[in-house]
Structure 1
Amino acid sequence: MKDIEGGMMACGLCADPGRFVVETRPMPDAAPPGWALVDIAAIGICGTDYHIFEGKHPFLAYPRVIGHELSGHIVSGPDAGQLVVVNPYLSCGQCRACRRGKPNCCSAIEVLGVHRDGGMCARIAVPRRNLYPADGLTAQQAAMVEFLAIGAHAVARSGAGQGDVVLVTGAGPIGLGTALFARLAGAEVHLTDRSLSRLTLAQTLCGFDRLHGPDLPPLTGALSEGFDFVFDATGNAHAIEAGFPLLAHGGSAVLVSVVKDDITFSDSEFHKREARIIGSRNALKSDFERVMAAMRSGQISADALISQVVALADLPVRFPALVADRESIVKVLVTP
């Protein structure tokens, strides 16, 4: 991508729903004050990118350069050449959420690859505060930190830990990340998904063995009192609503995924349980650092989660098949 003559670079973008193309654009050679240029090393494809391709993303204007799961090398300055993970959530730094240390839910947040062009290109300018050193990781491992940080953040927000019984609904990449960090926190983790392929991947790649198909068995025996935490990573309103009756008394429903629909539940059952609903959005710097520490220590095997590595030049042909086959893959990485 980077050796195109005349300061041009290849960029991967969704031109319209169902049409992914690679086109050339000028390569940035300067960054605003407080920002840095980053040469992209690897890009992860996530559910958001699939939704953009399918025309299902509610907050996106086409054409859009996609890509927000990013690793790369800083171009210049005292840290030139440093491998970094890119935090793709650009916050304003001034709203109430930002002032209270919650830039992940900034009221004016912009996400790379969604609200503005992302990193499926050779070089991008990013605020320096959004760059985290990835010492000890490979470029491909570093590109997977962001999606795992989503789950790490959800678990941290929930307070789930030793002795808790947890159900994660949705065994895609975000659900797997949530399950991994719930397990690291000491919880007993169960997973459910309508896709047996995803459940098989959760078992073979990550060692989860408390697996349930789309029709959960009756809550009997050790599970008769329900789950202390139900994390939803499905993006499906019906699945979210089906999780409320599974809560134990004193339990919490953690909404990791987001839906446009209204969510309903029985108020009397909710109050009887003194339940909580917790929204979890994006991730904080501390979550990124927690993920990288888990990778370095070997508690999380990022390499095991790589399903395919695709060259950007091949992606226009490959993208439709990846969308159709995403239940049988965990993480696809795109490289220059």
Structure 2
Amino acid sequence: MKAVVCLSPGSLTLADLSLPPAPPPGWALLSVSHVGICGTDYHIFEGKHPFLTYPRVMGHEVSATITAVGEGVDLEIGRPVIVNPYLACGRCIACRQGKPNCCLAIEVLGVHRDGAMCEQILVPAGNLYPADGLSLRDAAAVEFLAIGAHAVRRSAAGHGKRALVIGAGPIGLGTALFAKIAGQDVVLLDIDRERLDFAEQGLGLTVIDGSSADSAETLRIRTRGENFDVVFDATGNSASIMAAFAHVAHGGTLVMVSVVKDDITFSDPEFHKREMTLTGSRNAAKADFDQVIASIRGGLIPIAKLLTHRTTLAESPRDIPHWSRHKSGLIKAVIEVQGHG
């Protein structure tokens, strides 16, 4: 089968790999339809991912159809599905507490093991969710949106709460959209004017240009000097994360959606006097996938506006390096593996 392989940082190739074996008990063999290209994939290509060995088949935002099933799997052949790419052990303390998204032995497709930038892939049946009512193209966007939905759920901030989302990349945009769906009063902060214009004009979000000299004063006025009930940082930038503490209201919450390799420091007196809550948000859970699927079906997510670029498996070794350097107009690119709509 054809697969896009990242041989080493900066080196992508279209290779011929062996077809997967027949699915073992509890697993299903999938014919991959579409794969979203994630920031993680760009980091892998650029050699910036800390937990990865090469060569690697990338791809964890996946829609597919079922080709074959192993013993004990009650799924019909040909069914369109969405893949939850977080393969959990089912036994550790996180799994026992219903949090397989932060399993101690988690294996993420396309990161810890080969992913779906290929024609066929084996996946545990429990990680497959019906894509009924969604096109296979839209179904490939569910995973990245679930990251934002999970962050909003982790915030536990209810209707009417003031929310600041820092970072207008795909994850930040998804977070802002689901915060808005939750009834929060959402402001999106970024320094990229093009991304802010897209968020404001294309998605109807309230935005503030963080590169402006008076952005801090604008945020202060927006909240009458009280700051935000919940702040989501989705920048992947340590300086931004540390600066985000100052935007949290007394009694408020900071949700760290992005992850960085650096240590994060903050003022302990400021943290305590505000009685802040600092919350990590990792990956997503089935409940988040379910919410995203329902939201797309219900017309709450302008999915066509988010999926800005397309490519094919054969063209990906050319397009991924280009998009890693030239992101103007790019929100989310999708690989059409089987050419379905």
Q: TM-score range by the shorter chain?
A: over 0.9
* In 2: Cα distance, 1:118 partner to 1:40 partner: 10
What residue number does 2:92 align with? 95
* Over 4 Å off, 4+ runs: none
Displacement of 1:32 in angstroms is 1.3
1:289 paired with 2:286, answer no
- TM-score normalised over the length of structure 1: 0.95
More deviation in 15-24 or 209-218?
209-218
What residue number does 2:186 align with? 189
What residue number does 1:260 align with? 261
Q: 2:58 aligns with which of 48, 51, 66?
A: 66
Deviations 1:146-168 (A, max 9, x none): 00000000000111221111111
Consecutive unaligned residues of structure 1, counting only runs of 5 or more, are 1-8
* In 1: Cα distance, 2:91 partner to 2:148 partner: 26
Query: What amino acid is aligned across from residue 242 of structure 1 in structure 2?
Result: A
1:220 paired with 2:220, answer yes
Partner secondary structure for residue 72 of structure 1: strand
What residue number does 1:322 align with? 323
Displacement of 1:205 in angstroms is 2.3
More deviation in 84-93 or 300-309?
300-309
* In 1: Cα distance, 2:278 partner to 2:221 partner: 26
More deviation in 213-222 or 234-243?
213-222
Partner secondary structure for residue 320 of structure 2: helix
* In 1: Cα distance, 2:157 partner to 2:61 partner: 26
1:57 paired with 2:56, answer no
* In 2: Cα distance, 1:167 partner to 1:214 partner: 16
Contact 2:79-2:130 within 8 A present in 1 as well: yes
Deviations 1:46-71 (A, max 9, x none): 10000001100000101100000000
Deviations 1:72-130 (A, max 9, x none): 00113551111100000000000010011000000000000000000000110000000
* In 1: Cα distance, 2:56 partner to 2:82 partner: 21
* In 2: Cα distance, 1:158 partner to 1:271 partner: 19
* In 2: Cα distance, 1:168 partner to 1:220 partner: 15
* In 2: Cα distance, 1:137 partner to 1:335 partner: 15
* In 2: Cα distance, 1:178 partner to 1:303 partner: 17
* In 2: Cα distance, 1:182 partner to 1:316 partner: 35
Query: What amino acid is aligned across from residue 257 of structure 1 in structure 2?
Result: S
What residue number does 2:83 align with? 86
Contact 1:205-1:305 within 8 A present in 2 as well: no
What residue number does 1:303 align with? 304
* In 2: Cα distance, 1:118 partner to 1:103 partner: 19
Contact 1:161-1:182 within 8 A present in 2 as well: no
* In 2: Cα distance, 1:214 partner to 1:62 partner: 37
* In 1: Cα distance, 2:209 partner to 2:191 partner: 9
* In 2: Cα distance, 1:199 partner to 1:335 partner: 28
Contact 2:306-2:332 within 8 A present in 1 as well: yes
Contact 1:13-1:21 within 8 A present in 2 as well: yes
Consecutive unaligned residues of structure 2, counting only runs of 5 or more, are 70-74
* In 2: Cα distance, 1:220 partner to 1:98 partner: 41
* In 1: Cα distance, 2:318 partner to 2:261 partner: 31
Contact 1:71-1:140 within 8 A present in 2 as well: yes
Partner secondary structure for residue 328 of structure 1: coil
Displacement of 1:204 in angstroms is 2.6
* In 1: Cα distance, 2:81 partner to 2:193 partner: 35
More deviation in 100-109 or 206-215?
206-215
Deviations 1:225-264 (A, max 9, x none): 1011110101111000000011111111100000111111
What residue number does 2:29 align with? 37
* In 1: Cα distance, 2:222 partner to 2:55 partner: 51
* In 2: Cα distance, 1:160 partner to 1:13 partner: 41
* In 2: Cα distance, 1:141 partner to 1:42 partner: 9
Count of aligned pairs? 328
Displacement of 1:327 in angstroms is 5.1
* In 2: Cα distance, 1:174 partner to 1:60 partner: 21
The correspondence of residues 1-336 of structure 1 with structure 2, limited to 5 A, is: 9-76=1-68, 78-215=75-212, 216-218=215-217, 219-223=219-223, 224-326=225-327, 328-336=329-337
Deviations 1:193-239 (A, max 9, x none): 12111111212321113333234331433411101111010111100
Q: What is the RMSD of the two structures over their aligned residues, measured on CA atoms?
A: 1.1
* In 2: Cα distance, 1:142 partner to 1:205 partner: 21
What residue number does 2:72 align with? none
Displacement of 1:27 in angstroms is 1.3
* In 2: Cα distance, 1:293 partner to 1:121 partner: 28
Query: What amino acid is aligned across from residue 271 of structure 2 in structure 1?
Result: F
